Structures are given as structure tokens and as C-alpha cells.
Amino acid sequence: MHVLSLALPLLLAAPPTPAATLDTLHGVKVADPYRALESDDAGKAYAAEQRLKTADWLKAHEVKGLNGRLEEYLSIGYVGRPAVGGDRVFFVRMDGKREQPLLVVRDAGKERTLLDLSKNDPSGKTALDWFFPSFTGKLLAYGISSNGDENSVLHVMDVQTGKLMAERIPDTRWCDVTWLRDDSGFFYRRFPPNERYSPRLYFHRLGAAFEKDEEIFGAGLDKTFWPSTTLSEDGNSLAITVSRGWSASDLYWMDVQTRAVKPLVKDVPALFENAWIRDGKLHTITNLDAPRGRLIRIDPSKPEKAAWETVVPQSAQTLKGFVPLKGKLLTVLLDRAVSRLRIHGNDGKPISDVTLPGVGSVAGLDGRFDRDTVVLEFTSFTTAPRLLTLDTSKKAPPAVLAEVKMAVDLSRFVVDQVEYRSYDGTLVPMFIVHDKAMKQDATNAVLLTGYGGFNVDYTPAFSRRFLYWLEHGGVLAVANLRGGGELGEAWHEAGRKKHKHQVFRDFEYAMRHLIRENYTRPDKLVITGGSNGGLLMGAQITQAPYLFAASYAAVGLFDMVRFHRWPPAELWVDEYGSAENPDEAPYLWAYSPYHQVTDGVRYPAIFIATAEQDTRVTWIHSAKFAARLQAAQAGDAPILLHMEGKEGHGQGKGRSDQVEDAERMYTFFLGLVRLPRMASSPP
């Protein structure tokens, strides 16, 4: 393990000294004893010292053979992110010891590589962020960034020759590209230079200087609003969706020729997603009056709600998306976090359900409105991702388009889906993956994870990272907490803003269920989560530290009183609330992990992982939380902090970096909890 490869000055610093910093928040005094760590000098010096101490702890607890086995697991390939352009299918393929996946195209039955980022950067620090083929498939727009910062630069490639065109458009983080039907240009989203808010929509004509691109939409919007586009089937109209956080969105209609824009749906407290224009009418999925989603049709000449037509009504399953095809619609549904596909006529009437390979997830889906065929990515806990093609004009099940070979035998593992009662009696779904020979005798080492926020679906997916745990006799549990989108908008709303505490209680009661049902016991239970899931870990550490042995919290938010001060965190105020609001500050303070650490508590073992280049969640959260926990710890369990230099929030992380990260996590866990098939007990 290369634990000292950090692009930070490894200077020793004195342990941080708490200061009597008090803020007055709506008349209430709020302590912030480690405010000094918000400065680069003090914070990074502390993080550098902690990295050395963490490295010493990891070295003392090295696990024989761990690195080599993780190298094998993380070298298992994958295929994914399919996109259709013309007769071509574009996707990423990862194999072997490669640091970053290849961008490939399947053309006339043959697969060829379009982009291999390792040729110019063998370190694996340059990543492919996103890509959008043109309608004809002759051109491809894509974005790349370095060191995990996600600050994409847009490029355009001639697919036939592989040659790059002149375009180099910066500030295209999390971009959205909509090509004209003749490939002459595209609409796209771009941020102002050096800004993390206020993205605008532009039109770019191929070959033109991007500085002169026409701004078509976005001026005057709230800086946290997020516009995206979809071109009509005839190419004459543009649907513009403006996301107002994660719970509401607006719809606009633009004439492509005149650039005239008019609102269709505005200031309605509901989501309108997957916009598509067919036969002069806009189709969209909304949760208005339908928390599990329905597909509606809006006539732009009569956009009032009373004139909306329901095409696919709400059902017992959650409607997550749809793809328009030749005379048909293909919908994606979630049935208790398991994916289903259904074919409908253009009028919305169901024709048939699609037989999928098993209990899993449709993670990507794309097709053309003038064809019968779609390409989809399918994955499950026990199946490596594969790309499938589905011809909706036939009754045959999907056929394999691309897959990877895997030497690991997953046939001995089974997946159980259970429901457990949370603190208020609410039934919460949870997946439990384990060896067929597992016994519920309270002796199993269980790794529990979850997310619970932002309407995100935590569905069955193959994880190379968790294979070590499973293959060595561990049990993996994934809880579908409130705050996610698995059970519709009501499920999301039940874990949002003032209801966020219910997410934390759901996770706590997942632990209680695993213990009560004799899967495990507290000294054999470990938990992990990242980002919003890192906040989840912080809440468990401060609210239920007696229920588990160790927590690995990655790139998390821990200071919920000040989180909105670090860009781009104002984007998340819609989900969490803001301490600037006197009605929201009390509940944020009440669960903020940093503020709820209590002196004299015997906390379990904690590993806090962060990254200097994280442009989503600043490392400051992790530094302050670690320092506060270290000062409060009354027991002898370690409180460790590790900050990487040339990495970000996790997107685009190279294979070697993934191996090192997984090795740190497992060395930490296995230094505290033994797996049945480990060669020897931990030190």
C-alpha cells in the first residue's frame, strides 16, 4: 500500500487546540471549537499529520495478501453507460490493469476504441466525465477532467476517423449536450468561469469560437437552478427542463428557429422529468398527484393543468423513466428497488413486460425514436454489468451485446430482500447478500451501507469493491432508506429537510434488525457510506455508537450548520435546508455530526476519508469532525483521518487509486473484525 503518495507537504503540526468560538444563530449560541481548521494552512497541516498517524496504524495492521486480492477484484472489467447515435452504440469498457475505461463504439457488429486516456496520462488521473453522440452517430462530444475535480473540458471527435475537431470548451462540469439533427451544432450547458453556480444554456456552431456562442437560456434564474434540454423528433422545438433542487422542476418550450421561449409548467411543487416532444406535444414524467410517477402529455397551445393527458397512469410500481421508440414507449419501473421494463403503445396502453436476466437494475437505457431497438445496461449483486439489446418488435428477451469475463464464481452467493420495521413502524426494504452456507447464529461479520437522500435509487448492483468481504465469508447488507427514490416521491420527502432524522433512524433500525435477527452482533457489525452517505455515517457515530464496531465514512458532510458556505453546497439547501433559515437551523444543529459529538463517550473505531481536490464536499468537514471526535474519545478505539491529494469526490478515480482506497478500508475493518475465511486473526 502506497500510503505516503500525497501531494501535500508532510509537515508535522501540533494537535489542533480547540478555541472558544461561539456563533449566535437566531439567538442561540452554537460552539465551533475547530473553526481554525477551515483555513488552508491549519487544516492541511493537521490533515498531513493525521495522514502520517493513519499510515502508521494501517502498517501495524497489514493483512497478508489483501493488496494482491484487491488487485484481482478491481481488475475485473465492466461495460456500461450506453448511448445510441445513428446505427452506432457508444459505451465504456474497462478491463485488466487499465487505469481508466476505454470509450468504445460498436459499429456494423464490430467494436473499436475511440478514446484511451492512458495514452496521454498513464497515471490514471485524467477521466472521461460524460459523452453525447450526435443523432447520426458521426460525431461525439465528450468531457474530460483531471485529478477528480470534474471541471470538464468539452471536445468533439469525428467518429469515423477518430480525429479531434477544434472545439475545446471549458467550464462544462456535469454537462448536457443536445445535437441538432444535421450535426451542425449543439445546445449545451456551461458555467461562468471559476463559478460553481448559475449554469446557462448555449448554442455552439461547430468550428466557431466558444466565446461567441449564443446564450439561449438561464439569465435571471436562481443560481442553484439547473437547466437541461431535449430536441423534438422533428428538430423544430426544444424542451427545457429547469431543476429547482431535487423536488421540483419547471418546463419551457423553445422554437429552435426564432429562439422564442414560453413557460409550460412553472412554480409547481412537483418534479417534471424525462421531457420528450412527439407529434407537437411534450411528454414528461411527473409526481404531481402521483407520488410514484405518471407519464403525461402537454399540448403547448393549452399548457394549463386541466388540459394535461395522462398517458401512463400511476401504478403500484415507481415510474423512473421512459424511452420513446418507433410507435411505442418503453418504461422503466422500480418494484421495491428492483428494475422492471414494460412496453407500451404510443397511446400508453401496456403491451408486454420484458423478461430481465434476474433481480437487478437497469442502470442505463438508450434508443432512437425511429427504431424498435434499445440498448440497456443490466447489473445485479451477483452479475457483472452487461449490455443488452432489446428489439421491442419481437417477443424475444434481451440479447447480450457486450460483457466481460470474470474468473470469480458468484454462484455460491444468494440475495435476500427483507423488510424491517423502523422506529415508527415504517417498513424499510433491505438487501442481504451472503454465502448459501451462512447461518443466522449472530456470529457473522456484516457490512451495512446505505444512502438515503436526493431521490437517489440504491438498487442491486455488482460491486468489485465488496467482493473481498463476500468471498471471505462476510455478509453485505444494503438498506433502502427514506430520502431515496426507490418507493417514489413520498419516500424521498419522508427523508428530506425536517424529516432527515428519519433517514438516520432507518439506518439505526437496520442495524437493530440485523442484530435482533441473529445475523450478527455489534462487535461484528461495520458500516460505510460516502458523500450524503458519509453524513449518514456521522449521524450513526453520534447517535448510535454502541450498535457497531467500526465506521468508514468517505467524503462526508459533517458540519451541517455551515455546510452551505462552501460552494457548490447551496445546491443542496433544497434537500437539507439552511441554518440561515430560523425554521431550519434547529433541526440541522440537532443532527449535525460535528456539533453532536459528546465528550466522554466511548466511540467505536472511525476512519474518515476525504480528498483535497473534492469540488463537491470540501475536506474541511472531515478535518473538523475528526479533530472533535479525537478530543472527545473516552475509549481506546482509533479515530483516523486520511486525506488524498490528487483525487476528488470519487468520480473518475483510477483503478490503482480505487485499489488503495479499498485496501485502506479493509485494513481498517479487518484490524477490528475477523472474517471467517481470513488466513489468520487480525492483530
Residue 645 corresponds to which amino acid? G
Q: Are 95 and 404 in contact (CB under 8 A)?
A: yes
Distances (CA, A) of 158 to 180, 231, 366: 16, 22, 21
Question: All 3 cell numbers of residue 249?
Answer: 422542476
3-state SS assignment for residue 65: coil
* Partner residues linked to 361 by β-bridges: 379
Identify the DSSP state of 521: -
Long-range residue pairs from 137-142, CB within 8 A, at least 24 positions apart, any chain: 137/84, 137/85, 137/86, 137/87, 137/88, 137/90, 138/85, 138/86, 138/183, 139/165, 139/179, 139/183, 139/206, 140/85, 140/90, 140/114, 141/167, 141/177, 141/179, 141/186, 141/188, 142/103, 142/115
- Residue of 247, 531, 592, 622 marked active site: 531
Q: Are 410 and 463 in contact (CB under 8 A)?
A: no
Smallest Cα–Cα separation from 256: which of 323, 185, 156? 185
CA separation for the pair 85, 139 (Å, rounded): 9
- On the question of a cis peptide bond just before residue 170, with omega within 30 degrees of 0, the verdict is no
CA atoms within a 13 Å half-sphere pointing along the CA-CB vector of 563: 34
Helix residue spans in 121-170 (DSSP H): none
Catalytic (active site) residue 249: no
Smallest Cα–Cα separation from 625: which of 32, 208, 96, 56? 32
Smallest Cα–Cα separation from 628: which of 594, 589, 584? 594
Beta strands (DSSP E) in 531-586 are 550-554
Beta strands (DSSP E) in 183-225 are 185-190, 200-205, 214-217
CA separation for the pair 187, 182 (Å, rounded): 13
The packing angle between helices 620-632 and 40-60, to 10°, is: 60
Residue with cell 493483512: 63
Residue 561 corresponds to which amino acid? V
Catalytic (active site) residue 39: no
CA separation for the pair 259, 216 (Å, rounded): 7
- Residue of 204, 434, 564, 649 marked active site: 649
- Residues taking part in catalysis: 531, 649
